[in-house]
Amino acid sequence: MADEDRGHRARARNRTGMRPLRHEDPEEIAGFRLVARLGSGGMGTVYLSHMPDGRPTALKTVRSELAEAPDFHRQFEREVRAASRVRGRYVVPVLQSDTDGAVPWLATAYVPGASLGEAVAFHGAVPQRTVVRLTAGVADALRSVHGAGVVHRDLKPSNVLLAADGPQVIDFGIARASDATTMFSGSPRRIGTPGFMAPEQVMGGEITAQADVFALGLLTAFAAGGRGAFGGGDADALLYRIVHDRPDLSACPDGLRDVVEACLEKDPANRPVPEQVIEACRVLSGEFDPFPREGWLPAELAEEVALRRAPTAPGEAPDPDPDPGEAARGRGHRGGPGPVVTGDAEDGPAGADPPTPGTLPAAGAAAYGAGAAGAAGAAGAAG
């Protein structure tokens, strides 16, 4: 029944990841002409646009009521500045931003491809050879993020996009910016998404780079098994299990299970660092280079990449021989007219991955850009 439901959802959904602009949407923001909606959520709306040189971008705007929160601009500016320092082959770069305006925004590269959350929800568990390369790529992304002095804080399936040349990690470090809104209520709030948080996050302790490694273990288990390592259901019960229980890794293949178990150590000091995870992936793959390469995605996910190519910018001529790798990194802006922008019956919040049996949907994430599930082709979404 689960496979039948998954097949029905896969046939019914809008696979381009793009929706038409609404009547209330502006035609342009800060010189960026808006083309389509990529998603919307608690933090704001994400639009498809283009840089002046034609590169497709995901333009993320912040809702006005959040922008008016005390200290939001200062916190948002600090986090965007930190994120702008991050460079790596598996991270989506911040291209431009305005953190001081009445409507704060940032532009990142547009990445065609479904999120990991979508991939599992609509196609089931990912093949092991793909999961090994996925894990190596995300570990390399964390190495880049941590090397820039940033902690992601909200690594989860909707924040990992599956592009033709490898996974692309989005929204690193931005999660903390939304914490400024807690000043309205005066009560503390956990930063992260239930089901993909480290024990120290759940307990309100210090969040270090090792919290991201815990999330990497959860991400790998989710991809390999098609469900969360700590189950689903009520958020409080789920968070309790993360802190106190052992993960259920019965659906995770033996070799990967060892890697995941190491990442899911309760004590942050006992977890491996990203370089050690990459080395473990080398052993599992039997190759010196365990990273994604051409053809790393299963056929049905590779098809998603083709469907989500951005429409060509006005005045741009199609490239008769586009580079798939460039397109996957948001730089193949001459690659043809792209998909038709279609409407959906519902524009759900970005980050609310379609429920996968045994997992908790990402709704309620306390993070900017709660992912790209409803906007999966984007380099990020406002959730």
Dihedral (CA of 144, 148, 151, 154) sign: negative
Question: 31 or 222: which carries more pLDDT confidence?
Answer: 222
Alpha carbon distance 45, 60 (integer Å)? 6
DSSP 166: E
Residue 320 has pLDDT above 60, yes or no: no
State mean pLDDT over 197-217. Answer: 95
Is 140 considered catalytic here?
no
Residue 278 has pLDDT above 70, yes or no: yes
Residue 231, CA atoms < 13 Å, CB-side half-sphere? 13
Alpha carbon distance 364, 131 (integer Å)? 27
Please identify which of the residues 25, 98, 140, 154 carries the catalytic annotation.
Answer: 154
pTM: 0.80
Alpha carbon distance 137, 162 (integer Å)? 10
Could you tell me the two tokens for 124? 């089931």
Tens-digit pLDDT profile for residues 70-122: 888 888 898 898 889 999 999 999 999 999 888 899 999 999 999 999 999 99
Alpha carbon distance 375, 30 (integer Å)? 22
Tens-digit pLDDT profile for residues 126-184: 999 999 999 999 999 999 999 999 999 999 999 999 999 999 999 876 655 544 333 33
* CATH number for region 2-328: 1.10.510.10
Three-state SS letters, 273-328: CHHHHHHHHHHHHCCCCCCCCCCCCCHHHHHHHHHCCCCCCCCCCCCCCCCHHHHH
Q: Give the pLDDT score at 34.
A: 94
Q: Give the pLDDT score at 70.
A: 80
- How many other C-beta atoms lie within 10 A of the C-beta of residue 374? 33
**Helices then strands, each counted (H, E), the chain:** 12, 9
What is the residue whose two structure tokens read 């480290």? Answer: 198
Residue ranges covered by each domain of the chain: 2-328
3-state SS class at 219: helix
Alpha carbon distance 38, 8 (integer Å)? 22
